[in-house]
Structure 1
Amino acid sequence: MSARWSLITVTYNSAAKLRQYWSELNLPDAVEWVVVDNASSDDSVAVAQELGARVIPLPRNVGFGAANNIGFDVTEGAYVAFVNPDVTPVLDDLSRLAQHLSNNPNDLVAPQLVNDDLSLQPNGRGRPYLSAKIVNRLRDRGGRDGYLLVAQAGEVLETDWLMGAMVAGTRDRIKKIGVWDERFFVYYEDSDLGLRNAAHGGRSVVLGDIRWIHGWARETKAPSLAAWRLELPSMVKFYSRYPNLILGSSPHRRRVEAK
């Protein structure tokens, strides 16, 4: 049977996360799981194989977007979800995600992510103005009308882009908008994906009635020089591509539909 869903996970020294968040996974025939490993020095490859993934071990770290694209090219599901190793996928929810995408084939979609304590996590995001990005790095800022957005139960929340921890769409749509931009080694590739989808007439939406756990830990909120060294080159590339977002503070997109 051909896979209906393709789950693609990029790992880099992610063995502990895979054990924590994927250990209860029981894949049906209609779902394939491909792990693309970015030259981990731990046992990510062995753990992923033990958990049932088809693993593609890379000889070097090619970055988040490039590894996702490798996974995309070797999978075949009509629906594709890019899912981080620290996210627990609820396979029973895939039918509801597929139904939404069947009715809205130009959408990129995500469940409402929640923290380990089940509190809502803002995986919907507003317009990625430079000012919003900087404020978000310096301090957490939530709120239903701010840059960090959450979908309440019963809501279909339209945002400007989705945090890359979990993004799903139809294979045809992802091909049309051009998959992940490999010039971003890490960071900003999810913002870029959402903006490119919007430029092709699509939406980025969070479904409030579907909730998946994500063990979120943002390194650049802490004083980590290594993390900032990775982020700053992507920041320069992103705002060189979208100079209209360097200045500005117009209201962020947040449109709610009934379920």
Structure 2
Amino acid sequence: MAPTWSLITVTYNSAEALREYWAGYEPASDVEWIVVDNASTDDSAAVARELGARVIALPENLGFGGANNVGFRSSSSQYVGFVNPDVSVRPGSLLPLQNVIDSTGGLVAPQLVNPDGTPQPNGRGYPFLAEKLRNRLGSDDAASTYRRFASAGEDLPVVWFMGAAVLGTRAHFEMLGPWDERFFVYYEDSDLGLRAAASGIPRIVSGKITWVHGWARETTRFEWAPWRREIPSMAKFYSRYPRLLSPWTRPMIKSLDRKFGTV
């Protein structure tokens, strides 16, 4: 009998994160955990097996989206969650999230929190280039319109949410692809949210459930290696969504936000 849930985790030299964030994971009979390892040079695959995952060890690094798609194609459940190795899935939290998915008909993310319990802005508004850059630079100006937090008990409509935790039905993910493999890393989550919006699929951050997320984002500080990976994805993303480059289109796009309740 097929499980109700498939949790898919992409690893790349993530052994330490798995030990820290998945050590308390409790396997359930109706949940399969699939770890797709992107040719790690550490013992990520072995650690994942020890923690109870079914591991798919790839011979080469396919990137975040490509590896997620491998895991998705090997899964068999009605509900699917893409969950990063530095996220702790709380026992008993999948059923409430399943209820939000069913009631809203959308893609759902729990409200992510830092290890100290403070909320992370995993919900986001439209990714205009100017707001993305302000957010990268740590500007508070982006906080009210771009970074979104769900209050306790609130189901908050957003434009997109970070790829650290993305959950929904198999049917919706099959409709969407789910992940565009042309983004090796970065911007694939923004793209997924905008494609879901274009297909009329709501995107909800649920404050009914919180999961801890380590969130060690490389491009919040200047080091050339992570920015070298991000810039090609940025170019692909904004060539696909050129209206998000111009501040002149902002009032028109934000009027859609107000119409559909995402502001």
TM-score (norm 2): 0.93
Aligned residues: 256
208-217 or 248-257, larger mean C-alpha shift: 248-257
Per the alignment, residue 147 of structure 1 pairs with 146
Per the alignment, residue 107 of structure 2 pairs with 108
Per the alignment, residue 67 of structure 1 pairs with 67
2-structure distance, mates of 1:41, 1:111:
31
2-structure distance, mates of 1:117, 1:79:
29
- Matched residue SS, 1:71: helix
**Displacement of 1:144:** 6.4
Superimposed CA distance per residue, residues 69-103 of structure 1 (whole angstroms, 9 cap, x where no aligned partner): 00000001100000000000113011111111122
The answer (yes or no) to whether the contact 2:134–2:141 under 8 Å persists in 1 is: no
Per the alignment, residue 56 of structure 1 pairs with 56
- Matched residue SS, 1:25: coil
Per the alignment, residue 171 of structure 2 pairs with 172
2-structure distance, mates of 1:206, 1:73:
25
Superimposed CA distance per residue, residues 125-147 of structure 1 (whole angstroms, 9 cap, x where no aligned partner): 00000111111111153876321
2-structure distance, mates of 1:140, 1:31:
40
- Segments of 5+ residues of structure 2 without an aligned counterpart are none
1-structure distance, mates of 2:141, 2:22:
28
- Matched residue SS, 1:91: coil
Per the alignment, residue 117 of structure 2 pairs with 118
Per the alignment, residue 96 of structure 2 pairs with 96
Runs of at least 4 residues of structure 1 off by over 6 A? none
Per the alignment, residue 221 of structure 2 pairs with 222
Per the alignment, residue 11 of structure 1 pairs with 11
- Matched residue SS, 1:236: helix
Per the alignment, residue 2 of structure 1 pairs with 2
Which residues of 2 match residues 164-203 of structure 1 at below 5 A? 164-203=163-202
Q: 1:25 corresponds to which letter in structure 2?
A: Y
Per the alignment, residue 233 of structure 2 pairs with 234
- Segments of 5+ residues of structure 1 without an aligned counterpart are none
The answer (yes or no) to whether the contact 1:125–1:161 under 8 Å persists in 2 is: yes
The answer (yes or no) to whether the contact 1:155–1:256 under 8 Å persists in 2 is: no
1-structure distance, mates of 2:15, 2:73:
24
Superimposed CA distance per residue, residues 12-64 of structure 1 (whole angstroms, 9 cap, x where no aligned partner): 00000000000011111100000000010110000000000000011111100
Per the alignment, residue 209 of structure 2 pairs with 210
2-structure distance, mates of 1:94, 1:144:
29
2-structure distance, mates of 1:70, 1:227:
24
2-structure distance, mates of 1:256, 1:193:
16
1-structure distance, mates of 2:92, 2:65:
27
Cα separation, partners in 2 of 1:92 and 1:142, compared to 1, 3 Å:
farther
1-structure distance, mates of 2:219, 2:174:
31
1-structure distance, mates of 2:33, 2:97:
17
Per the alignment, residue 157 of structure 1 pairs with 156
Q: 1:109 corresponds to which letter in structure 2?
A: V
The answer (yes or no) to whether the contact 1:156–1:256 under 8 Å persists in 2 is: no
**Displacement of 1:256:** 7.7
2-structure distance, mates of 1:91, 1:82:
16
